[in-house]
Chains A and B, each alone.
Chain A
């Protein structure tokens, strides 16, 4: 009886997932194994063409670039988010600081990208200042390169890294840092040897929360990037809307999905690495006389 009631409660959720997640995913998987239609769409005929087409050097190059940009942006995000999360966790007015981190979520994603264009564009705020200071007469090209894409990606996904890091650090017992200092560690050593190992979980979560969406980024490289910063998301969109090769768009989507979920799985399944134990190799080691001599 109870079991049935439980099913009843979860039914809307299951339906939601089936209709809006599982079904579209199945369609994409299916499309990726079909033949490309002449004017877009697909022909109902099995084919591996879409997968072999991915060997195209251009797609390989963009995959490699996407990986590179994602890794750099994720590392930068974590490097900025870590001190942010730490200072929020240690501050007395956590609520206000958390609020400030969350505020950007209420602004449309695209609006925030255009804000960056307004700041960094050739006729943007930054160039106005530079010209006013007579540091330059010509506009400096800040946008439309990889560095700009990485900068805006880091900005976009920073809150996703700060929040999990904050919640992990908030649970961390700061007396441990006092203890490390007391036992001879410098401030830096206390962070590296005591704080970091104890917030590993938060670091992994924050890393995934940023890496996965950045790997599938579309709007940021489209609006901020140039020719050298095209990412997989842009290729998929192009294949879907311009080249009209739906199977190829589907097969690239599948690759991105499998790669990222595979990564998540690997990290989630990994066994917590056991502390290196001197004793395993040397059981006689335990037989120590009370004076410490063997």
Chain B
């Protein structure tokens, strides 16, 4: 496997009196597409700048391929960065931008040409070599930045919100291209983003951060289906959270009670004892919505009653915000996979029943919110 692994242990970082990172530990393996995901100001870019050598940690250690990189300046590290603003040199042509690292190393002209054209062709920009960055579109600039960061053949590519300046459609396209490039060059990609969709669709693993702390590390599926904390559950996609008072615990079969809604079944592991309060979440797409009261057939199915406060049609699905009898709002997605079959339409102010399986509910920690 190409690339390098990164080990971050107990790293803290202060900017003045503001603590940007609180005891962060991460281990990223060789060749992995690893994402740091969190809202702005959560410290994810600081982690990237620490790996790149632009900042030094106040405590803790960072090792690349098992060797500590403490005190090593950015030009001595085997990692290159794609900056959020691209940071292309405006006074140089596309060709010279990509050639910059080679010019610094005084590589012979012939070799410079070959390598630059090779990497420009990797990002499909050979024809734009003589242009200035100002003559390129956002997506093209982005790709120049990627080619320039790759030409030194780094073991790690650091990407700092590289797609945030692009429009939604181009972002999707560039994301797929990044994935393809990752497969081709096979080095470690560390990707910083605040967009959970981006992170979910390309990452091997994701670290979710908030307020300088890592809340959960896992595969996209683990993070989405089994969020560790309420923050992770709410940040990754949409979710519904219920306050649950535990009534009985039988292995993973939990029965709880929610004020005003009656008893609720949850299938999950918990340390909570009967009488304690926990948070349980259910994703909107896992809830069924119907105008008739659904059959439970004795299964562990939760049923809630309310009316449609807001239907939001968006083509492939409709999002319903349903107000329960207690006044609580629950979000439900209904996919339009079988629209032509004439399922009765559910409209504004319709009385509806919501049903979901206990197996789809997850108990989350309250910390990190």
Contacts and interface: CB of A to CB of B under 8 A. Distances in A.
Contact of A292 (B83, B85, B92, B118): B118
A185 B105 CA distance: 9
Contacts of B103: 193
Interface residues of B, number: 40
Contact of A275 (B85, B93, B113): B93
Contacts of A176: 87, 89
Nearest to A183: B101
Given A279-B130, A291-B118, A292-B121, A183 B152 contact: yes
- Majority secondary structure, A binding face: helix
A189 B100 CA distance: 11
Given A175-B85, A198-B90, A277-B130, A182 B114 contact: no
Nearest to A172: B90
Interface string B71-115: 001110000110101011111110110001101110001000111
Interface of A: 173, 175-176, 178-187, 189, 193-194, 197-198, 275, 277-279, 285-286, 288-293
A281 to B, nearest CB: 12
Given A182-B75, A278-B95, 9 more contacts: A184-B105, A185-B75, A185-B104, A189-B104, A193-B100, A277-B93, A291-B118, A292-B115, A292-B118
Interface of B: 52-54, 73-75, 80-81, 83, 85, 87-93, 95-96, 100-101, 103-105, 109, 113-115, 117-118, 121-122, 126-127, 129-130, 132, 148-149, 152
B51 to A, nearest CB: 11
A288 B121 contact: yes
A194 B129 contact: no
7 contacts: A182-B74, A183-B101, A277-B95, A288-B118, A291-B118, A291-B121, A293-B114
B95 A179 contact: no
Nearest to A197: B91
B92 A275 contact: yes
A291 B132 CA distance: 24
A293 B73 CA distance: 34
B90 A278 contact: no
Nearest to A178: B54
A285 B53 CA distance: 36
Given A197-B91, A198-B91, A288-B117, A183 B100 contact: yes
B89 A194 contact: yes
A176 B113 CA distance: 23
B73 A181 contact: yes
Contact of B104 (A184, A197, A290): A184
B87 A175 contact: yes
B301 to A, nearest CB: 54
Contacts of B87: 173, 175-176, 178-179
A197 B92 CA distance: 9
A279 B131 CA distance: 11
Residue among B74, B83, B101 facing the most chain A CB atoms (10 A cut-off): B74
Contacts of A288: 117-118, 121, 126
A197 B115 CA distance: 25
B74 to A, nearest CB: 4
A181 B75 contact: yes
Contacts of A182: 52, 54, 74-75, 80-81, 149
A79 B132 CA distance: 30
A180 B75 CA distance: 8
A275 B99 CA distance: 13
B58 to A, nearest CB: 20
A275 B96 contact: yes
A294 B115 CA distance: 12
A279 B129 contact: yes
A208 to B, nearest CB: 21
Contacts of A194: 89, 91
A186 B74 CA distance: 9
Contact of A183 (B104, B109, B118): B104
A251 B90 CA distance: 45
Contacts of B54: 178, 181-182
A279 B91 CA distance: 17
A194 B90 CA distance: 9
A290 B80 contact: no
A289 B90 CA distance: 27
A185 B152 CA distance: 12
B75 A285 contact: no
Residue among B85, B113, B152 facing the most chain A CB atoms (10 A cut-off): B113
Nearest to A289: B121
A165 B234 CA distance: 48
A198 B89 CA distance: 9
Contacts of B80: 182-183
A291 B127 CA distance: 15
A285 B110 CA distance: 11
Contacts of B126: 286, 288
Given A182-B75, A198-B91, A275-B92, A292 B81 contact: no
Residue among B54, B75, B113, B129 facing the most chain A CB atoms (10 A cut-off): B75
B152 to A, nearest CB: 6
B74 A181 contact: yes
